[in-house]
Structure 1
């Protein structure tokens, strides 16, 4: 878990270090990750042939949402600080909860709703603090909110698909779908595919290996040994780790309002995750009593 949190915390730093467009960084990050995954995909070929047309459509939609997430969130780092962007990104569970309520009518504990309200209040503090810095910072905050909404849709689609197919196969197909979306976007927007210095190519590889393989894929592997709630606590660790790294490696400073907003976001998310854990434990106990 610690290795995973440190790994994903480096994602924002690598993005800041590269001068390449966000759409190019996202495309090569997922392309190189897919190439690393392909040699281990053969055992899942049978499951791939068994997919229905509807499954392929939903996989493509999930990949599109993932590409949109990277486009908006990586783009936000061109305008605002690492701390502000990652603290807003930490609202992903809240967006997922809202989506699950409207799409699947899933109920949420009152304590989780309270945590959501506190976290949203923290985002407003961050935005207000960024207004005092520059209009560009606020633009970056809005892009990060859009990226968070997109990844929430991506996760909600995945929640329904992984019950019918191996998670490894799901990840690989979605990554490749997102690469195609990025390639089409870059082609029509006239974004160069290859004209980048060696430093940027090195960063593309680092984005694939460090935050993706040793971060997100490692978290998926951890689900075999610890609960999903425990793994989801990395949501709280990434903004803290990224902010520390941004201070040490990029010299970024935060205003008092931004710090206050960040503390509110982290506290709100802790309340939200605690409420979700209590609800899950209660549901488990009810099932055991029935059986």
Structure 2
């Protein structure tokens, strides 16, 4: 049994790992969003498939495989919008708005699955909505790339919420490696198809860019998200789900020092409200 101290240390490390995703994407300025998304998923899937060859895992059932493939399609679309938003808006905006999956998941459960919502959850939703509006309304101009990037970040949260909902039952039954390698492979194939439609190339980048893409597939994908899935075996889901909420804060601080991306008071206020609301929502959903 792994000690709680080591698990918390692992979760903190995983949070820092996933926070490198928008930073690496910003550094890869010559690689299109679909290229960043594709190689992140393809490299992550390849690493896990190779690992599974040396440490065999139980295969997914046909039903779970189909759900995982569908979840991978949604995940691929999520990353396309997320990395596109990184190209257009600030890292702070993209990451704060990109953490709204719990909000969209709850709304989908209410209006699609017709599940009841607690009154306290409505309060949390109001806080999240207020924070999101403050962030999106910053320098709002419907024709600007900045505003479009903010909207893309919102859209990416919707798609990851769909991916979570589709994959929810699969994650309870399947092992981390088995589930993740299929999910990432499906996302990579989806992004490959998107590249065909957009006409953007997935090859021909510099050696430095390919190295950055490899790090993107390894650090935030395999180590970061893989650690969160692993931790679910030993720590309550509420605690695990709370740690990724630190990503926007860490990423924004790094972006400030690396790229001189100043964070205005409205983004700080909106970000704090969003994170507080999401934290309350995550806690309530597990009660």
- TM-score with structure 1 setting the length: 0.88
Q: For the residues of structure 2 that align with 1:47 and 1:56, how far apart are their CA atoms?
A: 9
Structure 2 CA distance for aligned equivalents of residues 91 and 100 of structure 1: 15
Q: Tell me, in whole angstroms, the C-alpha distance in 2 between the residues paired with 1:236 and 1:161.
A: 23
Match of 1:29 in 2: 40
What is the distance in 2 between the residues matched to 1:20 and 1:275? Answer: 40
**CA displacement at 1:214 relative to structure 2:** 2.0
Output the CA distance in 2 between the equivalents of 1:143 and 1:60.
23
Moved over 4 A (4+): 42-46
Task: State the 1:56 CA deviation.
Answer: 3.9
User: In the alignment, what sits opposite 1:287?
Assistant: none
1:94-109 → structure 2 map (5 Å cutoff): 94-109=103-118
2:16 is aligned with 1:6: yes
Question: For the residues of structure 1 that align with 2:192 and 2:213, how far apart are their CA atoms?
Answer: 15
Q: Which residue of 2 aligns with 1:80?
A: 89
Which residues in structure 2 correspond to 1:140-219 (within 5 Å)? 140-219=149-228
Alpha-carbon RMSD across the aligned residues, in angstroms, is: 2.0
SS in 2 for 1:129: coil
Q: Within 1, Cα distance between the matches of 2:91 and 2:101?
A: 16
After superposition, where does 1:56-67 map in structure 2 within 5 Å?
Answer: 56-67=65-76
Unaligned runs of 5+ in 1: 281-291
> Against the structure 1 CA distance between its residues 6 and 191, is the aligned structure 2 distance closer, same or farther, given a 3 Å change threshold?
same
* Corresponding residue to 2:124 among 112, 115, 124: 115
- Kept in 1, the 8 Å contact 2:134–2:266? The answer is yes
Supply the distance in 1 between the matched residues of 2:68 and 2:234 (Cα, whole angstroms): 27
1:284 corresponds to which residue?
A: none
Q: What is the deviation of 1:44? A: 5.5
Give the drift of 1:132: 7.2
- The alpha-carbon distance between structure 1 residues 164 and 230, as it changes in their structure 2 partners (threshold 3 A), is closer
Offset of residue 7 of structure 1: 0.8
Shift of 1:87: 0.6
Q: Quote the residue 1:16 is aligned against.
A: 26
Whether the 8 Å contact between 1:109 and 1:276 is mirrored in structure 2 is: no
The answer to whether the Cα contact below 8 Å between 1:110 and 1:275 also exists between their aligned partners in 2 is no
Name 2:260's counterpart in structure 1.
Answer: 251
Q: Residue 59 of structure 2 aligns with which residue? A: 47
Which has the larger Rg? 1
Q: Unaligned 5+ residue runs, structure 2?
A: 1-10
Segment of structure 1 superposing worse, 125-134 or 82-91:
125-134
Shift of 1:133: 11
1:136 aligns with 2:145: yes
What is the total number of aligned residue pairs between the two structures? 275
In the other structure, the counterpart of 2:4 is none
Shift of 1:261: 1.1
With the length of structure 2 as denominator, give the TM-score of the two structures: 0.89
Q: What CA distance in whole angstroms lies between the structure 1 residues aligned with 2:268 and 2:157?
A: 20
